[in-house]
Amino acid sequence: MFGWCGTVLRVNLTRETLKKEALDTDLARDFLGGRGINAKTLFDEMGPGVDPLGPDNLLCFAPGTLTATTLGLSSRLHVSTLSPYSGIMGDGSVGGSMANVMKKAGYDQIVVEGVSDKPVYLLIEDGEVSLRPADDLWGLDTWATTDRLVERHGKGVSVACIGQAGENLVRLASTMVDKYSSASRGSGAVWGSKNLKAMVVRGTGRPELFDRKGFLALSKEDKLFMAKDRVQKEVASVYGSHYGITNWYPGYRNFEKELPPEEVPEQLRHEAWKEFEIDRVGCQSCHIKCKNLYKIPKGDRKDEIGEGMEYEAVYCLGTNCGVEEPIAIMEMENLCDAYGMDVIAVGNTVALAKELFNRGIIDKNDTQGLDLSWENAKDQVELVHMTAMREGFGNLIAEGMYSLAKIIGNGAMDYCYHVKGLGRGVYPAGLFSLAHAIATRGADHLRGRSWASGENSDEDVLKDLMKKGIITDDPVQSMIHGERVTTLADAVGRCKGAVNTWTCALPLIWKGSLFDGLADMLTKATGITYTGKTIEDASDRIGAVERAFNARQGITIADDMLPQRPDFKNTQEGAEEREVHMAMVKEWYRENGYEPETGLPTREACERLNIGYIANILEESQPSEKWDGPLLRDLADYPTGGKRV
Residue 466 inside a domain? The answer is yes
pLDDT of residue 456: 56
Question: Is 417 among the domain residues?
Answer: no
298 in any annotated domain:
yes
Asked if residue 532 is part of any domain, the answer here is yes
Residue 596 has pLDDT above 90, yes or no: yes
**For residues 388-415, average pLDDT:** 98
pLDDT digits (tens, 9 = 90+) for 322-350: 999 999 999 999 999 999 999 999 999 99
617 and 511 in a single domain? The answer is yes
Could you give the CA distance from residue 391 to residue 109 in angstroms, rounded to a whole number? 36
Is residue 414 within 8 A of residue 401, CB to CB? The reply is no
CA distance 485 to 387: 36
Which residue, 410, 440, 471, sits at the end of a domain? 410
Share of the chain above pLDDT 90, in %: 89
For residue range 433-485, list pLDDT tens digits in order.
999 999 999 999 899 888 887 765 567 887 887 787 777 778 999 899 999 99
Q: Are residues 528 and 607 in the same domain?
A: yes
Per-residue confidence (pLDDT) for residue 497, from 0 to 100: 85
* Domain identity same for 36 and 144: yes
Mutual angle of helices 343-358 and 326-339, in 10-degree steps = 120
What is the pLDDT averaged over residues 637-644? 94
Task: Answer yes or no: do 24 and 148 share one domain.
Answer: yes
360, 377, 410 - which closes a domain: 410
User: Is residue 348 located within the same domain as residue 463?
Assistant: no
The count of residues in the chain is 645
Dihedral sign for Cα atoms in the order 451, 455, 461, 465: positive
Report the pLDDT value the prediction gives residue 613, as an integer from 0 to 100. Answer: 97
Q: Do residues 429 and 500 both lie within one domain? A: yes
Three-state DSSP at 450 gives helix
Q: Are residues 51 and 132 in the same domain?
A: yes
Same domain, yes or no, for 144 and 255? Answer: no
Query: Which residue range is the domain that position 606 belongs to?
Result: 216-228+422-628
CB 109 within 8 A of CB 77: no
Q: At what angle do helices 343-358 and 401-408 cross, to 10 degrees?
A: 30
Q: Could you tell me if 182 and 242 lie in one domain? A: no
% of the chain residues with pLDDT over 70: 99
pLDDT number for residue 274: 97
Alpha-carbon distance of 151 to 208, in angstroms, equals 31
In sequence order, the β-bridge partners of residue 22 are: 7
Shared domain check, 578 and 474: yes
DSSP codes joined into one string, 117-179: SS-EEEEEETTEEEEEE-TTTTT--HHHHHHHHHHHH-TT-EEEE--HHHHTT-TTB-EEETT
CATH number of the domain that residue 471 is part of:
1.10.599.10
The answer to whether the predicted template modeling score (pTM) of the entire model surpasses 0.75 is yes
Residues 6+ apart with CB under 8 A from 22: 6, 7, 8
501 within some domain = yes
The CATH number of the domain holding residue 140 is 3.60.9.10
- Residue 209: inside a domain: no
CA distance 60 to 33: 11
Same domain, 469 and 512: yes
What's the total number of domains in the chain?
3
pLDDT class for 372, splitting at 50, 70, 90?
A: very high
CA 365, 367, 370, 376: dihedral to nearest 10 degrees?
A: -120
Question: Which pLDDT value is given to residue 252?
Answer: 97
CATH assignment at residue 386: 1.10.569.10
Indicate the residue among 362, 380, 410 that finishes a domain.
410
CB 20 within 8 A of CB 106: no
pLDDT at 511: 82
Q: What is the pLDDT of residues 522-560, one digit of tens each?
A: 999 999 999 999 999 999 999 999 999 999 999 999 999
Q: Are 143 and 63 in contact (CB under 8 A)?
A: no
Please state, rounded to an integer, the average pLDDT across all residues of the chain.
95
10's torsion region: left (phi>0), alpha (psi -120 to 50) or beta?
A: beta
- The predicted-structure confidence for 220-265, as pLDDT tens digits, reads as follows 999 999 999 888 999 999 999 999 999 999 999 999 999 999 999 9
Asked if the structure places residue 391 within a domain, the reply is yes
How many Cα atoms sit within 13 Å of 574 on the Cβ side? Answer: 12
What SS3 class is residue 333?
helix
Phi, then psi, of 234 in degrees rounded to 5? -95, -20
pLDDT tens-digit map of 294-303 = 999 999 999 9
Together in a domain, 463 and 592: yes
What residues does 176 pair with on adjacent strands? 161, 182
Report if residue 208 sits inside a domain.
Answer: no
Say if residue 75's pLDDT is above 90: yes
Whether 134 shows a pLDDT value over 60: the answer reads yes
Amino acid at the residue 247:
N
User: 128-138 burial string, b = 16+ CB within 10 Å, else e?
Assistant: ebebbebeebb
pLDDT value, residue 457 = 55
Are 38 and 78 within 8 A, CB to CB?
A: yes
